[in-house]
């Protein structure tokens, strides 16, 4: 079960992982960028590694290393999606960041990763 406010610590780092918000952001990005229904996006996220329990800083870092765009494209097109002609990153970063912000505000999502 995904949830928010997961606090993870190691010797030097503390991160709060809002897994629920992260997964919701990825779902809504698929809806907006790929054009699938929210229900289909939800199914794809459920079958992905994004919903697995996260128990340490390194596991959170793996998810935070890529933009949510990457995870949305990964969930829809699969690993190596860029080899299929799908842009590896958003072509217009300003437009992408505005979309991400709009989604987060509309659905009252928290920042996926809060690093201390």
Q: Where are the domains of the chain?
A: 6-108
The one-digit pLDDT tens for each residue of the chain (116 residues) are: 789 999 999 999 999 999 999 999 999 999 999 999 999 999 999 999 999 999 999 999 999 999 999 999 999 999 999 999 999 999 999 999 999 999 999 999 999 999 98
**Cα→Cα distances 46→12, 20, 26, 66, 75, Å:** 31, 12, 11, 19, 9
Query: pLDDT value at position 80?
Result: 96
Give the pLDDT confidence score for residue 94 in this predicted structure: 98
What pTM did the predictor assign? 0.95
Distance from C-alpha of 95 to C-alpha of 79, rounded to nearest angstrom: 24
Please report the beta strands in the chain, taking only residues with DSSP state E, as ranges in sequence order: 6-9, 14-17, 113-115
pLDDT at 2: 87
């Amino acid at each position: 079960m995904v949830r928010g406010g997961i606090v993870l610590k190691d010797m030097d780092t503390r991160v709060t992982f809002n897994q629920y918000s992260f997964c919701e952001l990825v779902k809504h990005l698929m809806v907006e960028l790929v054009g699938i229904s929210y229900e289909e996006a939800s199914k794809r996220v459920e079958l992905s590694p994004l919903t697995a329990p996260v128990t340490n800083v390194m596991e959170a870092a793996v998810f935070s290393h890529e933009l949510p765009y990457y995870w949305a494209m990964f969930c829809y097109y699969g690993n190596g999606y860029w080899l299929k002609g799908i842009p590896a990153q958003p072509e217009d970063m300003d437009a992408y960041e505005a979309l991400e912000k709009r989604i987060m505000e509309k659905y009252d999502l928290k920042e996926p990763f809060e690093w201390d």
